[in-house]
Structure 1
Amino acid sequence: MSAHYFFGIKASSHIQKYLKEWQRILSKSMDYKVWTDPEDLHITIKFLGGCSDEIMKAYLNELKKQDWPESFTLKVGPAGYFGQLVKPRVFLAEVENITPLLMLKDQVDRTGEKFGFKKENRKFHPHITLAKKNAEGDSPLSKEANSSVFDEVYSMRVDHFYLFRIHPDQNPKYEAVEKFDL
């Protein structure tokens, strides 16, 4: 079986700290089946799935030849969700969808198409998944509150991204195998 990969931006250590606190608070009101390990918190640029070593090597060689956008700063937060507000299937931190991030994604997508990796039809929604596969509880986002930690917005400097290999039976699950500097 071939290894599974994705390109992504690892959450910085200070973002990990804040989002780990969000997870701690969230766990008091919701019981998710899958909690993202703080070391695995990331923004997915492109999910590749299974891939042979030969194709991956060619894809990486092509990416290494390219000029990337300059480093940039992203806003992370507030909290968001996929699914229904009261019982979301995914609880996440929103990520600002800015031009340098879109350029980075487009460049990875266009290069990937040369190697058989199709561009997704759905609109890019950058985020950091905190928990998924809801089991029980009600989202704190559905409760009225004047001020919440889940409304916070943090800044994160992006000066590189990675190719990650997925190890589904390990924790953390994602191994950075190639780094691309901006």
Structure 2
Amino acid sequence: MQHYFIGVKLPIELSRQLVHSRDRWQLEQSHKKLPPAEDLHITLVYLGAVEGGKLKSLMQALDDIDSLKTMIVTLSGVSTFGNPATPRVIYAAIEEQPKLIELQSAVLEKCLDLSLPVDTKKFVPHITLAKKSRGQQEHFSKDMHIASNKFTVKEFSLFSINPGVIPSYQAIHTITLKD
């Protein structure tokens, strides 16, 4: 069954800058998956498998999120999930943005209203740069830096996940935020 998530796609110029920085760190030695620039995003809600009928209902529910406005999101450095010596994920951190938290909460609420099986862990906005640690060596370094950068979030999308294809994530329904 097809898997899905709801997220914010990054502007391609910013994605390319992040991949360029990441490539200098040689993370392919420590991590199995390094997403291409075209796949960089902020996950709002991961859904997993969703049946067709619920997918249509979800699209309609997401269209009803109309009170939220565009927002500026700022990158705030590099961080990790998991053991700091051999982190399972290395990511670009995002400065706290109340409007992004509000958007994620509204999306999560719509998913829960439809009884979709979603992860309800605390939302940590981030952009995954490397995942699936090989666990062999310490590779996260305090010297990993990314340029401070800002971008405007004007929309969010429901994405299908297509493993083995680049880009792996395809927007199948996009919701535009108000100016």
Which residue of the partner structure matches residue 52 of structure 2?
Answer: 53
State the Cα deviation string for residues 72-97 of structure 1 (Å, max 9, x = none): 10011301111222221111100123
Q: Match for residue 138 of structure 1?
A: 138
**2:43: which partner in 1?**
44
Deviating more after overlay: 87-96 vs 128-137: 128-137
Residue 128 of structure 2 corresponds to residue 107 of structure 1 = no
Asked whether 1:3 is paired with 2:10, we answer: no
Question: Tell me, what secondary structure is at the counterpart of 2:116?
Answer: coil
Distance in 2 of aligned mates of 1:28 and 1:170: 21
C-alpha RMSD of matched pairs (Å): 1.8
Mapped to 1, the partners of 2:64 and 2:140 lie a distance apart of 46
Q: Measure, in 2, the Cα distance between the counterparts of 1:90 and 1:114.
A: 30
- The equivalent of 1:62 in structure 2 is 61
Residues 169 and 95 (structure 1), Cα distance of their counterparts in 2 relative to 1, 3 Å cut? same
Paired position in structure 2 for 1:79: 78
1:142-153 counterparts in 2 under 5 A?
142=142, 145=143, 150=145, 152-153=147-148
Amino acid aligned to 2:15? Q
1:129 has 2:124 as partner: no
Kindly state the Cα deviation for residue 140 of structure 1 after the two structures are TM-superposed.
Answer: 4.6
* Structure 2 spans left out of the alignment, 5+ residues: none
Higher share of residues assigned strand: 1
Gaps of 5+ in 1: none
Q: What is the Cα deviation at residue 161 of structure 1?
A: 0.6
Identity of paired residues, percent? 27
SS at match of 1:88: coil
Question: Aligned residue for 1:95?
Answer: 94
Instruction: Give the superposition deviation at 1:68.
Output: 3.6
Q: Is the CA contact 1:85–1:139 (under 8 Å) kept in the aligned structure 2?
A: no
Partner of residue 168, structure 2? 173
Normalised by the length of structure 1, the TM-score is 0.88
Give the alignment of 1:20-39 within 5 angstroms.
Answer: 20-27=19-26, 30-39=29-38
Contact 1:29 1:140 in 2 (8 A): no
CA contact (8 A) 1:159 1:181 kept: yes
Which residue does 1:159 correspond to in 2? 154
Following the alignment from structure 1 to structure 2, what is the Cα–Cα distance between the partners of residues 28 and 3? 29
Could you tell me whether the CA contact under 8 Å between 1:85 and 1:141 is conserved in 2?
no
